[in-house]
Structure formats: structure tokens, C-alpha cells
Structure 1
């Protein structure tokens, strides 16, 4: 794996970890009956997952 691929793999891992954190915050917002926050965090998580998937496609 090249240095760039290693960096991309690290960024992808960080995005996945952040996505898990956002999922936990989303669950907390749901329990607090904050649908506006749930919607916003759900959108954020979708974008994080999309970005991680995009990186997965370019890592060789």
C-alpha cells in the first residue's frame, strides 16, 4: 500500500468512527424527542458513509 493509500485508509477509518459517534448521538436525540436533530444527524451520517464508500472505491 502506498503512503497515499495508507492515508486514505486512515481517513476512511476516521469517517467510519465518526459515523458511529453520530449514530449514537442520533439515538440520544431520538430518546430526547428531538426529531429536528435526528433528521440533521441522519443526513450527516449519510454523507459520512457516502464519503467513506467513495474512499473505499479509490484505495488500491
Structure 2
């Protein structure tokens, strides 16, 4: 597997993890856990940033 393919796969994994974090964030919001929601929002932001940086590398 080439480096570009590995980076693309890692980027997809980061995006998938971001979607999972969003689902957990929604569950935390439904249970009125604002501290958890805030923490997960930060995590998701960092995951999205990392995926974007990797996208720029292979673009």
C-alpha cells in the first residue's frame, strides 16, 4: 500500500471516528451532560482538523 493510500485510509478512519463522536455527543446532550458535550465537541473539532490536514497533504 502506498503512503498516499495509507494517508487516505487514516483520513477516512478519522472521519468515521468524528461521526461516532458526534453520535455520542448527541446522546450526552439528550442526557443533559453539558460538560461531556463540550469536551466531545473539542475532540470532534480536532479530529476534523487532523482529517483536513491529511486531505491537504494528499491533494
List runs of 5+ in structure 1 lacking aligned partners: none
TM-score, length-scaled by structure 1: 0.95
Shift of residue 3, structure 1, vs aligned partner: 0.2
Task: Tell me the equivalent position of 1:50.
Answer: 49
3-state DSSP of counterpart to 1:33: coil
1:1-60 superposed matches below 5 A: 3-60=2-59
Runs (4+) off by over 2 Å: none
Shift of residue 31, structure 1, vs aligned partner: 0.1
3-state DSSP of counterpart to 1:50: helix
Aligned mates of 1:59, 1:8 — CA distance in 2: 7
List runs of 5+ in structure 2 lacking aligned partners: none
Q: Deviations over 1:27-47 (max 9, x none)?
A: 000000000000000000000
